Amino acid sequence: MRTRRARPGLRLLVVGALTASVWVADHRGPAFAAVPSPAAKAPSPRESSEEDIFGRIERSLSQLDLAAAERAADLLPSGPTRGLALGLIAHASGDYATAARKLTATLEAPAIDPALATRTRRALELVQGTQRALKGNGPVTSGDGRFSAIFADQRDEVIAPYLFAALGVGLTNLSEALDVRPTLPVRYEIYDDPESLALATPLSLKAVYTTGTVGLCKYDKVMQLSPRTMLYGYRWADTAIHELTHLLVTLRGQDRAPVWLQEGIAKLYETRWRRDTPAPLPADRMKILRAAIEDDALITLEQMHPSIALLPSQQDAALAYAEVQTMLEMVWRKGGDAAIRALIDDVAAGLPAKTALATAWGDSFEAFMAAWKADTLRVPTAAAGRFRARQFDASDDDEPPPPDADVFSHLSGGRGRQLARIGLLLAVRGHQRAAAIEFEKARGESKEIRDDPTLARELGRLYVALGEPERALSLLELASAADPQRASLAADHGRALRLAGQLERALERLMDAVWMNPLIPSIHCDLAELAQDDATRRRERSQCQSP
């Protein structure tokens, strides 16, 4: 019998009971096994050398089968190879103290092979880097025991109930879609700066900044940045589900899917926790994709190996994700989840990934690519601004601009811009009513200024502060449409809606802000007012801090 898909239920998730992420091709993380786990192949006489056994351990780790890796390690005699194997297994299981101890002892072994010593040293650096990044903090576990998370900065633990709520819906829906039932708990590590993420992963700090990487699936866990590390927050819950998808695809596909296919499927399903169909490609991404098709400047599937995080720029990474997301969506729209499962299974059985994709779609790969390009160019697109790269910054986006900032420099010169500038200076000095009057004068000067999202945002915030939420609504709607990825703007809009009595819509917008940055304290003041039970109200009030 078909299981009914769980739906997000925003009111239940929050008022009641209560992304760039990447996949790296040389995944080495286990402790996650499908149920039932495939039986490990018994070693033959020809596979009894230490080299052969160690190769089996690496394959088991890459396929997320910790039990098989442990069984193979038992066949190794005492010595450096066994020490390295046990260290890798301990790292993959999250036992970093044991991993560090075993890897250190291995390096101290007499007459260790130089190549083995190099590999051991690198593994030890990664383990010790993870320990430093996590600062000795312990895990927070979901009430149902299905998920655990370690927060490098304990202030970020405010994320936990929202993370677990999104993951709960996501795991139910993805398990149904991909027909994979993983062992539990699923492990997440939330880091508090890009340097910490680089310490715990094979990525360099330069690669993290270059491509705007915020999450990584490796070593049978998800490593992800706190939304607090980004200037405007980011879709961190989508990233969490994106990485969960990587784990499930690895289980079903035995770690044989190439990077481009892994990323395409993860992008396809990253919103399955909050909607039944794939989210449309943002307008700025579609603009980049269409231009690349027209100019014959696509990122090739081969260039995405070994990781999209290693491409030269954030725009290249965005283009690569747009390509594979729309490619896999075309397969999904034709054959649904069954086509995606068949595609993964064909790759696991040894079929080349391009051939498997074409088979799932129903024609040759060349015909698929031609149809994909043609269909993409036919998609109607909304007006899109220029591509905005992610900005790493731990500052609070709710802070007003400094008095000397000219946030209206984009406006044409003249009286309108001067009035807007005067309004801003009055606002930052606390003269809210006078500021609103000047902003309204500026809007009357021209259509350009009347429809300007920046001015609409500033004036809308003023009207909320002045207790006139009805006047703020249309302004904040205009600003939100132009900047849908700004968490503080969604929070302002949610507050205006709540004060105007539109409670259902207010909850929707406030939760939209949460899914971008739950660390904005004012969000929780409004959620506390909307809470329908005492426990939720107390939790939200504990995080409330009005601006």
pLDDT in tens, 418-464: 999 999 999 999 999 999 999 999 999 999 999 999 999 999 999 99
Model confidence over 93-108: pLDDT tens digits?
999 999 999 999 999 9
Q: Is the pLDDT of residue 494 over 70?
A: yes
- Quick check: 397 and 233 in contact, CB under 8 A? yes
Q: Helix 453-465 and helix 432-443: axis angle, to 10°? A: 150
Confidence of residue 8 (pLDDT cuts 50, 70, 90): very low
The candidate with the shortest Cα–Cα distance to 533, out of 1, 6, 18, 10, is 18
Locate 73 and state its tokens: 């390690």
- Quick check: 24 and 306 in contact, CB under 8 A? yes
In a domain, 9, yes or no: no
Neighbour count for residue 375 (Cβ, 10 Å): 13
Kindly report the CA angle at 332 between 339 and 362, in degrees rounded to 5? Answer: 60
Query: Can you list the positions of beta strands (E) in 1-96?
Result: 21-23
- Quick check: 352 and 258 in contact, CB under 8 A? no
In a domain, 66, yes or no: yes
- Quick check: 253 and 181 in contact, CB under 8 A? no
* Most distant pair of Cα atoms in the chain: their distance: 87
Q: Could you give the CA distance from residue 507 to residue 376 in angstroms, rounded to a whole number?
A: 34
Sheet holding 215-218, edge to edge: 21-23, 215-218, 221-225, 186-191, 147-151, 140-141
Q: Are strands 147-151 and 186-191 parallel, antiparallel or unpaired?
A: parallel
Average pLDDT of the chain to the nearest whole number: 89
Confidence of residue 21 (pLDDT cuts 50, 70, 90): low
Neighbour count for residue 2 (Cβ, 10 Å): 5
Neighbour count for residue 282 (Cβ, 10 Å): 16
Q: Could you give the CA distance from residue 475 to residue 454 in angstroms, rounded to a whole number?
A: 10
Question: How many domains are contained in the chain?
Answer: 1
Q: Return the residue matching tokens 């092979």.
A: 113
The kind and range of the H/E element at 225 are: strand 221-225
Confidence of residue 40 (pLDDT cuts 50, 70, 90): very low
The parent domain of residue 85 ranges over 27-133
- Would you state the pLDDT for residue 27? 36
Q: Could you give the CA distance from residue 486 to residue 394 in angstroms, rounded to a whole number?
A: 14
Confidence of residue 379 (pLDDT cuts 50, 70, 90): confident
C-alpha R_g of the chain: 25
Locate 155 and state its tokens: 């202030």
Which amino acid does the sequence have at 515?
A: W
Confidence of residue 258 (pLDDT cuts 50, 70, 90): very high
Locate 183 and state its tokens: 């062992």
Model confidence over 389-405: pLDDT tens digits?
788 875 544 454 554 45
* Whole-structure pTM value: 0.89
In a domain, 129, yes or no: yes
Q: Could you give the CA distance from residue 386 to residue 210 in angstroms, rounded to a whole number?
A: 18
Residue 483 CB-density burial (10 A; 0-12 exposed, 13-18 middle, 19+ buried): middle
Neighbour count for residue 504 (Cβ, 10 Å): 10
Helix (H, G, I), strand (E, B) or coil at 22: strand
Percentage of the chain surpassing pLDDT 70?
Answer: 87
Helix (H, G, I), strand (E, B) or coil at 12: helix
In a domain, 439, yes or no: no
In a domain, 350, yes or no: no
Q: Is the pLDDT of residue 382 over 70?
A: no
- Quick check: 394 and 228 in contact, CB under 8 A? yes
Q: Return the residue matching tokens 């192949």.
A: 41
In a domain, 200, yes or no: no
DSSP letters spanning 218-267? ETTEEEEE-GGGBTT---HHHHHHHHHHHHHHHHHHTT-S-HHHHHHHHH
The candidate with the shortest Cα–Cα distance to 282, out of 311, 321, 244, is 321
In a domain, 41, yes or no: yes
Q: Could you give the CA distance from residue 416 to residue 408 in angstroms, rounded to a whole number?
A: 10
In a domain, 467, yes or no: no
